[in-house]
Amino acid sequence: MVLMRIAVLLGILTFALQAQKAPAEAARQWRMQHEQQILSEFTSLLAIPNIASDRVNQQRNAEALLKMLEARHVQGQLLSIPDAPAVVFGEIKTPNAKRTIVFYAHYDGQPVTPADWEGGEPFKPVFRTVNGEQRIYGRSASDDKAAIMAQMAALDALQAARIPLKANIKFIWEGEEEAGSRHLEAILKAHQDLIRGDVYLICDGPVDQSRLQSIAFGARGDTHLEITVYGPHHELHSGHYGNWAPNPALMLAQLLGGMKDGDGNILIPHFYDGVTALSETEKRALEEAPVNDDRLREELWLGHVDGGGRHLLELLNVPTLNINGISAGRTGARANNVIPATAMADLDLRLVVGVDWRTQQQRVIDYIRAEGYTVVETEPDKETLLKYAKVAFVKRDAGYNAVRTSMDLPISEDVIHAVESAHRPVVKLPTMGGSVPLEGIERAAGTHTITIPIANHDNNQHSANENIRVQNLWDGIETMAALMGMK
């Protein structure tokens, strides 16, 4: 009797687990039978250049994506406003659905410097085996066309397995995320009737460095400053004028060098003011997350790290100031003996909840002023340069703020359960390190965002030789299928 009861219970449990696992499992089976077909469709998509400013190719991307939707019998259209790449929109209406789940991804990629790429052609995807694992190299292989491919393959699998959807599904694929999503909010607002949803699943970014599937309930905001400081009007011979004409590379070094201490703590006054504290659930999630710091340090050949002993995942909840690039004169074989005319730095400021991007820009500018610079917002003329001892031309880029969705909401808990039906354990982060324009999305759609990354962490995102580990694409298809199967 007892044994029978246990058998019945086990049977029910097994059935329940099977039922719950069905979308991810179906995705795995379908993928294993269609790997070449998936990879072929994916590499065709990667072969279309996708820099946000390249309007001709972005239109080609958008049309290719529409065809991918049509091939799945999904009603698609381009959402446009002038002077911006179109948002590709797709919609599956499910009878009696109680929820609408929106899958966001972006089809543009970071600018490329082909000479830095192995093979020199970022838009000719190449398969390479690294440490016995197959990877695909090409711009946006991971960031973020992989997410689009995973969504489409997941849909193929569900359709093939005749697993009915329970929720309405929408796809929103943006074409200028890497250029700051300058028009996304306006495009969404211009199509409010179409783009509503109960949750936006932001399918972008890498999973945890442990390779465990991750869910991020927020993302850092982002903005930029470009700083140019001035030496002589044109490059000078370093012998004839050395000791007399100020060197702008040195001036910029002094200006930037003072912005941080030796541990990477930012010394700009008020830089950390206003940061919203983490909730108890968020703190617990961080404590449960794997600590990969030592392994990463080894992987990245780092003899020391910043942060004064705090872990990487903890530091993602703190604002950053990063030098993306610095340049003056020339180095290496092209170096020559000059006092450069200008020196330039590109700064990236990542924001966390509680700190507005305009405030953060202003704090940096105030610091530059406090260092004795006259700050101008257009290129300075002769009169200005002669008048002031030190002039900095600061270009403020647009930006967006960080957001964080509570892990305690019902939709948050449902998303966690769905993802766990595909992979366990799941790393739950209050904030992911990367930035996605969640603020504008939340404002335009009046809803929450939750980020579901699928790429490998070591994907060279934003750099040369960007790649996706093929197994991450396969795992991502299962994750997407599980999320599409949600109620």
Contact between 205 and its own copies by CB under 8 A: the answer reads yes
Could you say which residues in the range 429-448 bind its own copies, by CB under 8 A? 432-435
CA distance 23 to 418: 10
Contact between 387 and its own copies by CB under 8 A: the answer reads yes
User: Taking the CA atoms of the chain, what radius of gyration do you get in angstroms?
Assistant: 25
Contact between 376 and its own copies by CB under 8 A: the answer reads no
CA distance 68 to 154: 13
Query: Between 62 and 391, whose beta carbon lies closer to its own copies?
Result: 391
**Binds its own copies by CB under 8 A, chosen from 252, 355, 445, 486:** 252
Query: Between 55 and 417, whose beta carbon lies closer to its own copies?
Result: 55
CB of 293 to its own copies, least distance (A): 8
Query: Between 58 and 100, whose beta carbon lies closer to its own copies?
Result: 58
Per-residue buried b or exposed e for 422-451, using 16+ beta carbons within 10 Å of the residue's own CB:
bbeebbbbbbbbbbbbbbbbbbbbebbbbb
| Residue carrying the six token digits 């065709």 | 44
CA distance 261 to 368: 16
What track of x and - describes contact with its own copies for positions 305 through 334 (by CB under 8 A)? xxx----x--xx-x-x-xxxxxxxxxxxxx
For 133, other C-beta atoms within 10 Å of its C-beta total 12
What track of x and - describes contact with its own copies for positions 286 through 305 (by CB under 8 A)? -------x---xxxxxxxxx
What track of x and - describes contact with its own copies for positions 451 through 480 (by CB under 8 A)? ------x--xxxxx----------------
Query: Between 191 and 350, whose beta carbon lies closer to its own copies?
Result: 350
CB of 134 to its own copies, least distance (A): 20
Question: Token digits for 34?
Answer: 């269609």
Query: Between 91 and 235, whose beta carbon lies closer to its own copies?
Result: 235
Contact between 346 and its own copies by CB under 8 A: the answer reads yes
Query: Between 166 and 395, whose beta carbon lies closer to its own copies?
Result: 395
Q: Please report which helix (H) or strand (E) contains residue 223, including its range.
A: strand 221-230
CB of 130 to its own copies, least distance (A): 13
Task: List, in sequence order, every beta strand (DSSP E) within 366-461.
Answer: 374-376, 391-400, 403-404, 427-429, 448-451
Contact between 274 and its own copies by CB under 8 A: the answer reads no
**Binds its own copies by CB under 8 A, chosen from 259, 291, 375, 409:** 259
Could you say which residues in the range 30-49 bind its own copies, by CB under 8 A? none
CA distance 325 to 343: 11
The answer to whether the Cα torsion of 469, 221, 320, 306 is positive or negative is: negative
Report CA-CA distances (Å) from 368 to 378, 394, 415. 16, 9, 44
Query: Between 126 and 328, whose beta carbon lies closer to its own copies?
Result: 328
Question: Residue 150 in contact with residue 483, Cβ under 8 Å?
Answer: no
Question: Interacting stretch for its own copies, rule CB under 8 A, among 273-281, 339-347, 420-428, 444-452?
Answer: 339-347
Contact between 226 and its own copies by CB under 8 A: the answer reads yes
Query: Between 391 and 470, whose beta carbon lies closer to its own copies?
Result: 391
Question: Token digits for 234?
Answer: 């044109």
CA distance 487 to 475: 21
